[in-house]
Amino acid sequence: MRDFRHDHSALALNTATLGHNVEGAGAGWSPERVIDACAERGIGGIVFWRRELAGRAAAIGDHARRSGVEVIGLCRTPFLVGPLAERDATAIADDFRRAIDLAAEVGAPVLTIVTGGVAAGTKGMGESLKIVAERVAQAVPWAREAGVKLALEPLHPVYGGNRSCLVTTREALDLCDGIDDEALGVAIDIYHVWWDGDLSRQISRAGRRILGFHLCDWLAETTDVLLDRGMMGDGVADIRAIRAAVEAAGYQSFCEVEIFSANTWWKRDPADVLDVMVERFRTVC
């Protein structure tokens, strides 16, 4: 297991952690300012969201690389199914390809897939997972061509209804098995999977298909399942054990901090949040 106590070059920022998607949060920092703040602190990687790149993806990617910060991923595909997805399958497929193209443009090697929830007129996850498998299979050749890998991210079962019919690492790997293409893998996010008693077995099964590893924490008394994620060390997830499993499976890349936190971290000065993130990464991860 890697020792991060004196080296946080494997630490990456997902810009959501600075409140990217809340008006006025993140003190209105531009992508370039966020990159510079990461570079100053020796944070080695960054993950943007599509909306932040609006027409400037190549320039932002170049700025990051010149600053010594790797763009390691892009968030995310459109919802592929469920109540939050577009109704028109063609529109979903088009937007999926645009997301892949944008990842290539900013220089991100990985695009995260969030599946969306239960398809209208169906019950349970089964039918929705079939639709997801079809839509991902359709997009995989485009991703391969663009040099972008797709990371299926199982979300916590609390999102099962509307945001993700894919709720366990096992099912994400089953889906990968069904498509069987090197351009497709999984992302392991502690917030979403920490509770899963089957996790270490599935991480071992995943092996080299782990394309992303996300850090945060689950607050025991979480008050809002969307915007109340914890900073590493403040919750009950066994972060070290999960990281040990992920590394034993062969993952030696970045650890990406992604914290949605409307009432705590998004209210803090982004510079402070970055400082705390570095300190926690070194001490509790």
Q: Please give the residue ranges that form the binding site for its own copies (CB under 8 A).
A: 82-83, 117-118, 122-126, 156-158, 160-162, 167-168, 170-171, 194-198, 218-222, 225, 235-241
CB of 235 to its own copies, least distance (A): 7
Which is nearer to its own copies, 183 or 199 (by Cβ)? 199
Which is nearer to its own copies, 44 or 235 (by Cβ)? 235
Positive or negative: CA dihedral 274, 44, 210, 92: positive
Distance CA 178, CA 167 (A): 17
Which is nearer to its own copies, 157 or 250 (by Cβ)? 157
CB of 177 to its own copies, least distance (A): 14
Which is nearer to its own copies, 42 or 126 (by Cβ)? 126
CB of 99 to its own copies, least distance (A): 24
| DSSP 8-class letter at 217 | B
Distance CA 259, CA 272 (A): 14
Spell out the residues 6+ positions from residue 108 whose beta carbon is closer than 8 angstroms to its own.
47, 48, 61, 71, 72, 73, 74, 148
Q: Which two tokens stand for residue 230?
A: 């914890």
Which is nearer to its own copies, 155 or 183 (by Cβ)? 155
Which is nearer to its own copies, 151 or 237 (by Cβ)? 237
CB of 3 to its own copies, least distance (A): 19
CB of 221 to its own copies, least distance (A): 6
Which is nearer to its own copies, 55 or 197 (by Cβ)? 197
Distance CA 154, CA 173 (A): 10
Q: Which two tokens stand for residue 55?
A: 């027409």
CB of 83 to its own copies, least distance (A): 5
3-class DSSP state for residue 223? coil
Angle at 180 between CA 174 and CA 186, to 5 degrees: 55
CB of 189 to its own copies, least distance (A): 13
Positive or negative: CA dihedral 216, 217, 218, 224: negative
Distance CA 177, CA 173 (A): 6
Distance CA 219, CA 226 (A): 12
